[in-house]
Structure 1
Amino acid sequence: MAEKHVLDVAGRHITVTSPDKVFFSEREETKLDLVHYYLAVAEPLMRVVGGRPTLMQRFPHGAEGSSFFQKRVPESAPDWLETTIVSTPNGTTSRALVLADIAHVVWAVNLACLGFHVWPCLHDRPEVVDELRLDLDPQPGVEFGDVRVAAAELHRLLDELGIVGYPKTTGNRGLHVYVRLEPRWDAYQVRSAAVAVARELERRRPDVITSAWWKEERGRRVFVDFNQNAPHKTVFGAWSVRARPGAQVSTPLRWDEVETLHPDELTIASVPDRLAAEGDPWEPMAGHPQSLEPLLELNERDRAAGLMDAPWPPVYPKQPDEPPRVAPSRARKSAS
């Protein structure tokens, strides 16, 4: 087994240690295979993650081993590595990796980062969120067919409002839909827009879609997780590789492919060939930033009708006009 492999990446000499170590058991793909995957998708990857801070999740024993989140770049990092100071939801700060170029990606992969949890802002303007990220999260017992139904309903809503959404698999069971935004809004406004989307989708298809924050109320439906847009939240990035034995990729799709492809088919073995043959479905996204106003108007309509803010995760300070942070069953028990 080779001890190391040296690559020239974006003008940097990067040493990949233990290149033959198996990271994914299904096809016995190695750390070096993972590096080669990221090099194969470097152009579309950098279009969506370039210049953004990222949270590193390291899997030193491969995809099926234990992992840990590393919020801070280690002191041993090379001096060329670009970093920035970020805040986490609980208010702590750390020096995070900026995905400045593909050399930064390969450096992190060598530390056993399989994929990347990316901030919705550029490192040099953290106060401005330029991505709305709509997370279609299937609850236990929900098949991918229902995720497709939810995605189609979301697509119709965005079309009605004149907004172009870009879908991708999560690399697991759900779908994400991104909207690239004009650099005008902060995370609180973007989250309000996501809350409005979740509520409107539930009104249209309550049999399939829920906006319920409390798990006990969701049932076997697709939850639109609006809190993925809360301040300082990261989302698993496009083209990133999941910690699964099959090395599934969070893959950008065309809308028609949502109906024909299954997420399990999209792996580090298949995605590079797909990209070479069909191109990047998200290529137009960066060049056409969009307005959040139609979704903010939906939110204003809901608030005018008497709806409160949606619940926030427990790590956030209590917000104005937020409902009580107690599960409905516990609230009923306390009242009885």
Structure 2
Amino acid sequence: MSEPVSPGDLTIDVAGTEVTITHPDKVFFAERGETKLDLVRYYLAVAEPFLAAVGGRPLLLERYPDGASGKSWFQKRAPKSAPSWLTTAEVVTPNGTTSNALVATDLAHILWAVNLGCIGFHVWPFHAAAPQVADELRIDLDPSPGVGFAQVREVAALTRDLLAEVGIEARVKTSGARGLHVYARLLPRWDSYEVRAAAVALARALERRHPDLVTARWWKEERGARVFVDFNQNAPHKTVFGAWCVRPRVGAQVSTPIGWDELDTVDPDSLTIATVPARLAERGDPWAGIAERPQALDPLLDWSRRDLAGGLMDAPWPPVYPKQPNEPPRVAPSRARKD
């Protein structure tokens, strides 16, 4: 780090690109008093696995200019004041709106966003260079009210085992909040519609095997005290909170890749910007090599075709999406009965 460029500011040379950090002492996380500069230092410490996980992908920014306890908004578009070296890519929202999103090209891009008060990077499921290909299956295990983390752990292990049965290797990370995310890196063969269809089939298969523990029901009123397998996180243009990214929580929790051997003991709330760098230095990256072993989605797509041939309709889509072929009525069952 260099000398301040103006009172209180710092300029960081990031592999030849200078990034200015203004107000580095501003407190971003109230629980331990960590600052914007502490957040910068965190991303410097985890740069290698972070960029291995999200590098080259467009990002949706979650901005908290006054820290995790302050006001916030989501930002899809890079501002017009962005520096000339910044890389962006055109992305499309579910309603068809286009915008030029920041691309996780290198760490300078990330620290530039952190300086804007970005606490939270939501990642598109494709690389900016190949937007037509979704190369990640993202299984978001979402606990319904009344469901504890022990049940989420159990469903994560069941998801891993079911995928392993059909030859798909999966990795896991904490969400940074109450859930877990199970990922599989895919061969570059499928688009987001196909990946979502595979996720729907997986969710339904898990529900059939473990109906008291797992639900694939989109409507909250039907889920009960079960873990919801959120297949719609794989819908086209949908972003998911990124690996190694810091959550906008006062404790600065991190969405942390973990080893499957840690699943039964991990405490997600203890994985913070204060603890994750040392943990990485000691244990290494649990997701190392994920890109070198892309997985085939064919078995899950076979399940999807089997379900449709057996008379099942597609699962409901989120309300922001246009009506899809073979989709059931997009209305909660209780309301449908009243109508």
TM-score category by the smaller chain?
A: over 0.9
Which whole-Å deviations, capped at 9, do the CAs of 1:129-182 have from their partners, x for residues lacking one? 000100001112211001011111101101111110010000000000110000
Q: Which residue of 2 aligns with 1:32?
A: 37
Over 2 Å off, 4+ runs: none
Matches for 1:311-330 after TM superposition, within 5 Å: 311-330=316-335
1:57 paired with 2:62, answer yes
CA distance in 2, matches of 1:66, 1:205: 40
Question: Distance between the aligned counterparts of 2:102 and 2:274, measured in 1?
Answer: 27
The C-alpha deviation readout for 1:52-79, integer Å capped at 9, x for no partner, is 0001110011111121011110111000
Task: Report the secondary structure of 1:319's partner residue.
Answer: coil
Unaligned runs of 5+ in 2: 1-5
In structure 1, the gaps of 5 or more residues are: none
Give the TM-score, by structure 1 length: 0.98
Q: Among 255, 277, 284, which residue is 1:279 paired with?
A: 284
Which residue pairs with 1:146 in the alignment? 151
| Mapping for residues 108-257 of structure 1, pairs under 5 Å | 108-257=113-262
For each residue in 1:229-264, what CA deviation from the matched residue of structure 2 results, as whole angstroms up to 9, or x when unmatched? 000000000000001111000000111111110111
CA RMSD in angstroms comes to 1.0
CA contact (8 A) 1:135 1:226 kept: yes
Residue 311 of structure 2, aligned match among 306, 311, 330: 306
Aligned residues: 334
* Identity rate, percent: 67
Which residue is equivalent to 2:272? 267
Aligned to 1:70: 75
> Could you tell me which residue of structure 2 aligns to residue 45 of structure 1?
50
TM-score normalized by the length of structure 2:
0.97
Q: Per the alignment, in what secondary structure is the counterpart of residue 207 of structure 1?
A: coil
Tell me by how many angstroms 1:88 deviates. 0.7
Give the alignment partner of residue 258 of structure 1, picking from 234, 258, 263.
263
AA partner of residue 247 (structure 2): R
Give the conservation status (yes or no) of the 8 Å contact 1:2–1:18.
Answer: no
In the alignment, what sits opposite 2:3?
none
Provide the rounded CA distance (Å) in 1 between the counterparts of 2:117 and 2:95.
26
Pick from 14, 18, 24: which aligns with 1:13? 18
Q: Distance in 1 between matches of 2:85 and 2:309?
A: 51
- Residue equivalent to 1:103: 108
Secondary structure class of the residue paired with 1:185: coil
Q: Quick one: which amino acid aligns to residue 334 of structure 2?
A: S
